[in-house]
């Protein structure tokens, strides 16, 4: 469930332009810590709903790189209420479109539907926030999908390989060092239990924001959010990763006093 950065940028730009003149953003917060943002735009009877989680590849460490992206794929594999692929099927049956994307600092899921279908997506999104089922057989299949995705988009693309290596050299100590999709060796050795553990830590209402834009009433959206997301328990020991400052050796290497020690300063 991946979309290219160019498409993501276009989507965000269109969403911004379509709502820029529609008035203020209404901000709310549920008792469990989840933030809710609502932007009205009554020009068309449609709505876009997104759930953003504050976790991405920069939260990972060596050995499990790519796990945030892998979890994004597994989020479509079902819960106790919905089987594998049911989320996407139900959204499509209701005339909607949905997708997801992972970045360095966040993972997000979105649906675009007719305004009277918002409750359908919100109910299912709340369900998979804390009740995802990561089955071993489903993980094994999806793990192969992600490895093939890496082969097609990176390893078989000289330009992508060059950029990946440049990024790894440019950022030596920062977790931005590794690619969002992860190193192939780490992807190969991820397990279903790794995914369950990562999901349990980061996918919680107090680490998420709901963003709704479209032909909606803000208070009605907030009431719906309280109904479906409100009962979810927050993660008590949620601790963000420690900051990792990038070293700045390039400046020292290129300084005139080191390159030309006998020249005047």
Residue 143 tokens read as 């793990």
259 φ, ψ (degrees, to nearest 5): -75, -35
Pairwise CA distance, residues 195 & 184, whole Å: 16
Residue 186, φ and ψ in degrees, nearest 5: -70, -40
Catalytic residue of the set 40, 72, 98, 125: 72
149 tagged catalytic:
no
Q: 2 to each of 85, 150, 197, how far by Cα in Å?
A: 15, 11, 22
Q: What is the spatial distance between Cα 41 and Cα 30, in angstroms, rounded to a whole number? A: 23
Active site residues: 72
């Amino acid at each position: 469930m991946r979309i290219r950065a160019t498409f993501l940028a276009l989507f965000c730009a269109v969403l911004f332009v379509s709502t820029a003149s529609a008035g203020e953003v209404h901000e709310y917060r549920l008792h469990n810590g989840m933030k809710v943002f609502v932007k009205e735009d009554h020009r068309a009877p449609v709505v876009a709903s997104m759930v953003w989680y504050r976790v991405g590849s920069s939260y990972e460490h060596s050995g499990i790189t790519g796990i945030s992206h892998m979890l994004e794929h597994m989020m479509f594999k079902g819960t106790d209420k919905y089987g594998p692929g049911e989320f996407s099927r139900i959204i499509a049956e209701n005339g909607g479109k949905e997708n997801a994307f992972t970045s360095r600092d966040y993972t997000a899921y979105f649906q675009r539907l007719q305004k009277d279908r918002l409750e359908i997506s919100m109910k299912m999104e709340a369900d998979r926030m804390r009740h995802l089922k990561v089955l071993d057989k489903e993980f094994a299949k999806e793990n192969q999908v992600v490895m093939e995705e890496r082969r097609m988009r990176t390893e078989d693309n000289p330009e992508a390989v060059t950029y990946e290596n440049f990024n790894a050299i440019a950022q030596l100590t920062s977790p931005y060092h590794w690619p969002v999709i992860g190193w192939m060796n780490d992807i190969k050795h991820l397990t279903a239990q790794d995914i369950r553990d990562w999901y349990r830590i980061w996918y919680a209402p107090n680490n998420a924001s709901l963003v709704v834009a479209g032909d909606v009433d803000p208070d009605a959206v907030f009431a719906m959010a309280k109904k479906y997301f409100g009962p979810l328990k927050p993660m008590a020991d949620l601790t963000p990763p420690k900051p990792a400052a990038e070293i700045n050796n390039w400046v020292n290497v290129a300084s005139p006093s080191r390159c030309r020690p006998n020249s005047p300063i």
